[in-house]
């Protein structure tokens, strides 16, 4: 077992399954992935609840809402004018497929990723979250938590998104469920122990971690 699997196993044994993504369907995942940029999930949940209460959490319905009105409905997510525009950009792209996810899922991961990245306001982390959690494609999601935790562990020395992603994808089998769970566990551990100021003395990974070994 390589060290990347070993860390996964340790995290899974400690925390158990995380049941990501907390959403009812692929569209809710996608809206959440766009709204969660630069804000906490609690703020996103309020916006999603707002859309649900008005029965708007469907692509065609949301497409018909004016951008300004949508901005007001997602106010709790912050940067709401910008995020409303981003959602509209995504919906515009989706319209090309007649909102048909089967047509989208027929595309290769690479070309779908390129298309998502060409939508203004959709960056790599958001695109990959949509690919993995909405369309169930084997793409490892990298975020600031992943970079911080794995740099501290001493398993990869880089700041680049693509290098981190290649590192995980080379060391793990291409498996949607594994990628889903691993990313969720990294987020969990980064909130519980591997915080901005890490709680290394209580962390169950401390003996396998460069930072833990060097700072205790």
Range 139-158, binding ligand SF4 (CB under 6 A) = 149, 152-153
CA–CA separation, 32 vs 22, rounded Å?
9
CA–CA separation, 102 vs 120, rounded Å?
23
Cβ distance to ligand SF4 smaller for residue 9 or 95: 9
From start to end of the chain, where are the E strands? none
Min dist CB 209 to ligand SF4, Å, is 3
CA–CA separation, 121 vs 190, rounded Å?
26
Phi, psi of 2 (to 5 degrees): -75, 170
Question: For ligand SF4, which stretch binds (CB under 6 A), given 12-20, 104-112, 169-177, 195-203?
Answer: 195-203
Question: For ligand SF4, which stretch binds (CB under 6 A), given 100-108, 117-125, 177-185, 194-202?
Answer: 194-202
Minimal CB distance residue for ligand SF4: 212
CA–CA separation, 4 vs 84, rounded Å?
38
Question: For ligand SF4, which stretch binds (CB under 6 A), given 39-47, 55-63, 111-119, 190-198?
Answer: 190-198
Residue 211 within binding range of ligand SF4, rule CB under 6 A: yes
Residue 113 within binding range of ligand SF4, rule CB under 6 A: no
Alpha-carbon distance values, 45 to 50, 84, 141 (Å): 9, 15, 21
Number of chain positions touching ligand SF4 (CB under 6 A): 14
- Give the one residue of 67, 75, 209, 214 binding ligand SF4; rule: CB under 6 A: 209
Binding site for ligand SF4 (CB under 6 A): 149, 152-153, 193-194, 198-200, 203, 205-206, 209, 211-212
């Amino acid at each position: 077992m390589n060290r990347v699997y070993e860390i996964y196993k340790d995290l899974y044994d400690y925390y158990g399954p995380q049941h990501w993504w907390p959403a009812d369907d692929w569209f809710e995942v996608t809206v959440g992935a766009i709204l969660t940029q630069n804000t906490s999930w609690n703020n996103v949940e309020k916006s999603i609840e707002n859309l649900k209460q008005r029965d708007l959490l469907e692509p065609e319905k949301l497409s018909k809402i004016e951008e300004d009105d949508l901005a007001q409905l997602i106010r709790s997510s912050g940067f709401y004018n910008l995020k409303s525009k981003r959602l509209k950009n995504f919906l515009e792209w989706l319209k090309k497929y007649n909102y048909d996810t089967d047509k989208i899922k027929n595309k290769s991961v690479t070309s779908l990723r390129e298309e998502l990245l060409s939508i203004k306001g959709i960056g790599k982390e958001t695109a990959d979250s949509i690919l993995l959690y909405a369309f169930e494609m084997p793409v490892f999601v990298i975020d600031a938590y992943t970079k911080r935790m794995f740099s501290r562990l001493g398993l990869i020395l880089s700041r680049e998104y693509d290098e981190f992603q290649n590192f995980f994808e080379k060391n793990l089998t291409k498996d949607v469920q594994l990628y889903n769970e691993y990313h969720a566990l990294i987020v969990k551990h980064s909130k519980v122990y591997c915080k901005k100021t890490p709680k290394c003395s209580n962390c169950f990974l401390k003996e396998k971690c460069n930072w833990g070994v060097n700072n205790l």
